[in-house]
Structure 1
């Protein structure tokens, strides 16, 4: 297990240009720590590594993947690992996060980054529902939303902004979507990856007339999703969450 500051040279998996990097924080029982490390390390192989993270209480580690395409992740990531860690007594809660890095090279340019950031920030409630949490580690900062057009031009424009926010604009080569609660449920983690890729793909070709006609609306995005089978984990997750929210509203 590596120190928190460990930054190896990336090993790219799949055919880009859009690559995703997964950071999954896991709470690990102290008496099963060695078993959990061995289980995770064996399963990940060259696809990822473990890092210490003192913010995980009372103890735990962070699973970090090398950059991979969404489709590569669906078929090649060792998803059984999540069940194996759960059987060892590992768990997650809203205090630990799931972060997804998206390669800047996967965007068509600054205007595309701007459109994507606006989609995320304009739909804070819906994104938070999907993320299953709101957190002071990933707040939707009004100052960041106001500077989205400026920030889309590069990380150098993020000086003075915190990295603890919904979209961390500081990394040189990626944009970090930090909103998600961690999970050991395979579909929830796949849905986080799917949302990241799908939202980037959706905003790639949005025109000004489409935006003026409601292109940034959540309903437009989810309608677009339903016609793309590759995002089935996200569609199923959203359907279940919507039903749960409806049941809570009826119960109240």
Structure 2
């Protein structure tokens, strides 16, 4: 039998949700679930238990017994559900090397069939050789002014299909409670080393930024990692500048360093890798 805190913490990991996100989706107070996982709230009323069960997609009677029993085993959130057409463009541009639709589905269903032994991460192959509590640091230089070289490897499944996966050169471990404050979990976070001065003083050369890869649309406005036209990554401030009635969504790509220019592109012309949720700096 699990305690309420243990049950909620484990279920959030399974769903890949932060406590604030889960509470908001269920119409609960923003801090309701976070107070449970941080042990501020040790018991809740019966009606709140039902709301909590709905938020976590659990059978309420089983939850009262300290047992995790999903109401629907297949009812997991789609982290990319909001990104629509632009996500498909990003997937094709950055991750798929070759192989039919059926072979891609096969690789997704049977990740254990991947024979490459290196530590990699990719949309088709998932996290290979990476522990659940590890945040992978991608072997890529995220340019703050432009450029950057992406390092990928081909990962081959048993059926012969090949996929591109980003090489992981190291990993980070961050306390989950800190990630929860950013409404994130290790499952969806990656670390990117950066170079350049275009985002100074917000981000400087040598920093490592942490991105939530579920965020592939520039809402809310803020710092995002983008795939650039040279195959690398850049970090910029994004803000939608078009009107809701406009035919295309236009996005302003802003450098915090005023010595660098601002560009405006349509959403279809950019590939958002994730939203910046934090950074490590030695300055």
State whether TM-score is above 0.5: no
TM-score of the pair, normalised by structure 2: 0.27
Bigger RCO (CA 8 Å, 6+ sep): 1
TM-score of the pair, normalised by structure 1: 0.29
Identify, as 1 or 2, the structure richer in strand.
Answer: 2
